[in-house]
A = this chain, B = another copy of it.
Amino acid sequence: MRLTRAAEYAIRCIIYLAKQGRGVLANKNDIAERAEIPPHFLAKIGQDLAKAGLIEIRQGAKGGFVLVKEPRDITLLEVVETMIGEIYLNDCVARPSGCNALSACGVHQVWIRARNQLRDTLRQATFDKLIKKKICIPVSDVKNLTGLNNTRGRDNSPEPVKNLP
């Protein structure tokens, strides 16, 4: 499992749409600008999200993206797996045939367990909950968006992870 940029962008896109509410159309370039997503890349991501039934794409003048489902019916897991495929952590979880240990292998069992936990956690995070909290994607109020992830120059600074409680 690896969260790609595309997946993070997709989440931001859905957040943006969820804030507006289901059925409300949003211009693609607006989304791209506010959520700091490369516009062309968003086009591709949007197609994936549409194929998965999360959004609907309106073509033509005054077109854009529309959220199809209610935010409370969309889970973080859904969005993430739409973009990066099903999470399985270890290869042998996805294809047990590779190793004949199957359920007998202790390590395998740990991966299964870790995978299920992770997916459950992401499944519990629905977008109605997510948009209630403050979020770094402003939808209409802030014009001067300061803090977005514009780590373009991909710095690999060590910067230790804080272990929040």
A interface residue numbers (CB < 8 A to B): 1-3, 8, 11, 15, 76, 86, 88-101, 103-107, 109-110, 112-114, 116-118, 121-122, 125, 129-136, 146-151, 155, 157, 159, 161-164
Contacts and interface: CB of A to CB of B under 8 A. Distances in A.
A107 to B, nearest CB: 6
Given A118-B117, A147-B101, A109 B133 contact: yes
Contacts of A99: 136, 147-149
Given A1-B1, A148-B99, A159-B97, A122 B112 contact: no
A130 B106 contact: yes
Listed residue (A92, A105, A106, A118) with the most chain B CB atoms within 10 angstroms of its CB: A106
A110 B76 CA distance: 9
| Count of this chain's copies in the oligomeric assembly | 2
A94 B81 CA distance: 21
A105 B89 contact: no
Given A101-B147, A159-B97, A106 B89 contact: no
